[in-house]
Amino acid sequence: MRILIVEDDRKVSHWLGTKLRARGHACSLVEDGERALEALEAEAFDVVVLDQMLPHMSGLEVLRRLHGRNHPPVMILSAIDGPEKRVDGLRAGADDYLGKPFHFDELLVRLELLSRRTATADHDGRILYVEDLSLDEISRTVRRAGRPVELTDKEFKLLNVLMRHKGQTVTRTMLFEKVWGYAFAPQTNLIDVHMSKLRAKIDRGHARALLQTVRAIGYVLG
């Protein structure tokens, strides 16, 4: 999973990031709500761990700002606990709420369930659009400017992930996890080879290139 941790206590933040990375997950750490919103606008994540008490902007305000926008599931992780506070957090838009102190394995299981639930919902089937590019998840067809684009299974899956996170940088690690189902191996050029072929198929012959490389990080579509 690609996880955004929003926590102003650096000891907690780095401890949590270290534990999650040791289990094979990629983490980005930010200390306030504004940076969290900026990170979610710029990059794709599978799930967000959000503290409720943050400087300048509370976790609940972050959730209100996210209302109506496409964003990953959010778990509130807060020392402010109790039934009423949990209800407030869930009503504000959180997908789960866990009080501090907490057991790490419980946190990890909850995050995995949130990510899995979202992935299942993502495959219910619909048509995705990025400008004049469309992808039909039911018929597994892709069109650019109305013309069909023939893709291999892996190319289709890569494009599907990118279209679901249009305008956001999707890291190589995230693409590996979602398309191949295992952790990213830095020494392989597998992603680059497939993305080069995908770019040629969807962008060649068109005035505007939709697929861009973000050097040393990943790719962005749109």
**127-221 shares the fold of 2-122:** no
Residue 119 pLDDT:
56
Per residue in 163-189, pLDDT tens? Answer: 988 888 998 888 988 888 776 566 678
**pLDDT tens-place values along the chain, 222 residues long:** 889 999 999 999 999 999 999 988 889 999 999 999 999 988 889 899 999 999 889 999 999 999 888 788 999 998 888 888 889 899 999 999 999 889 999 999 999 888 877 655 455 558 889 999 999 988 889 999 989 999 999 999 999 999 988 888 998 888 988 888 776 566 678 888 999 999 999 999 999 999 999 988 899 998
User: Would you say 13 and 7 are in contact if contact means Cβ atoms under 8 Å apart?
Assistant: yes
CA 116 to each of CA 1, 101, 121: distance values in angstroms, whole numbers, following the listed order: 10, 25, 9
Strands 74-78, 127-130: pairing is unpaired
H or E segment at 2? Answer: strand 2-6
For residue 188, give both structure tokens. Answer: 């392989």
Whether CATH 3.40.50.2300 fits 2-122: yes
- Enumerate the domain spans of the chain: 2-122, 127-221
If you compute the radius of gyration of the chain from its CA atoms, what whole number of angstroms results? 18
The pTM is what? 0.71
DSSP 217: T
Residue 85 pLDDT:
86
Please name the fold of domain 127-221.
Answer: Arc Repressor Mutant, subunit A (1.10.10)
User: Would you say 72 and 36 are in contact if contact means Cβ atoms under 8 Å apart?
Assistant: no
Strands 47-50, 2-6: pairing is parallel
For residue 65, give both structure tokens. Answer: 């700002």
Per residue in 70-79, pLDDT tens? Answer: 788 999 998 8
